[in-house]
Amino acid sequence: MSDDIPANLEERLRQREQLQRHALATVPTVQVRISGNLPNTPLVAAIVAFLLGSIFCFGLLMFLGWLSSYWWTTYQLGFFIAAWSAFHFGEFAVTAGWNLEKCSVESFLLDNGSMYHIANGSAILEYIITLYFVPSFKTRTSVSILGMIMVLLGQFMRSTAMKHASTNFSHSLAFKKLENHRLVTDGIYAWCRHPSYAGFFYWALGTQFVLQNPVCFILYFVLLWRFFYTRTRTEERTLIKFFGDDYIEYRDRVGTKIPFVP
């Protein structure tokens, strides 16, 4: 009887390890930040993905003009809604496909702090109020088209950066160097030092061009610049500890492509 207990325990541990490595598992195999605000299970991941897909379809129908019954169902707001839902789904999808060891429900980035949701809510509020009282302020189609291009390019930059960095990418700052952590300086990283940050920076500003929100555009620019300036300084101090002169040489050679963030 006593001989069976260790064997059963070992078998349970082996099964648990296999489960964590399963493609549908949402339990990271390395240490990452888990807030716990959403249950970290495949069921919740599936529900969130379904809801984001539904929101994307709603936004897409608005963008295509198939839901034009109301004054507020414009192509601009439709694009914003579709881009927002696609961004969050893409964060999880790219993590699951190229960085499975860090994948969890948190990878959707929906629990991204109260300021993030306030910013999105403020953008929609400014758009709706202006559209209702001064609709002529939302008629510059070329500005919205420019914003769409920025959103698509920003999304491409961020997703490409996450895919190329693979397991070297993390949504949260890493202060402990993992054994397989290497300095990525090729691909898109040969052109931009922080392509995931730059991608989101232009993605977010692009959404405000699409909505033609002058107030939120200025606020987005200031807040995002401040956030990424502080974050890159903190992250790069850690990267210098990890990689020493190799990172210093890389930092001096490749810029961030974010204005006023050297």
Own/partner pairs, 31-37, CB within 8 angstroms, 24+ separation? 31/176, 32/102, 32/104, 32/106, 32/170, 32/171, 32/172, 33/106, 33/171, 33/172, 34/104, 34/106, 35/106, 35/111, 37/111
CA dihedral 90, 94, 97, 98 (to 10 degrees): 180
pTM of the model: 0.89
> Which pLDDT value is given to residue 16?
54
What DSSP assignment string belongs to 195-240? HHHHHHHHHHHHHHHHHT-HHHHHHHHHHHHHHHHHHHHHHHHHHH
Q: State the CB neighbour count (10 A cutoff) for residue 91.
A: 21
C-alpha angle 161-166-169 in degrees, rounded to nearest 5: 70
> Which pLDDT value is given to residue 5?
46
pLDDT tens for the 262 residues of the chain, in order: 444 444 566 655 555 555 555 555 677 777 677 777 888 899 999 999 999 999 999 999 999 999 988 999 999 999 999 999 999 999 999 999 999 989 999 999 998 888 999 999 999 999 999 999 999 999 999 999 999 999 999 999 999 999 999 999 999 888 888 888 899 999 999 999 999 999 999 999 999 999 999 999 999 999 999 999 999 999 999 999 999 999 999 999 999 999 999 9
50 contact partners, CB below 8 Å, separation of at least 6? none
> Which pLDDT value is given to residue 12?
56
> Which pLDDT value is given to residue 235?
96
Instruction: Write the burial class of residue 42 (CB in 10 Å: 0-12 exposed, 13-18 middle, 19+ buried).
Output: middle
Instruction: Write the burial class of residue 55 (CB in 10 Å: 0-12 exposed, 13-18 middle, 19+ buried).
Output: middle
> Which pLDDT value is given to residue 50?
98
> Which pLDDT value is given to residue 1?
43
C-alpha angle 33-38-43 in degrees, rounded to nearest 5: 115
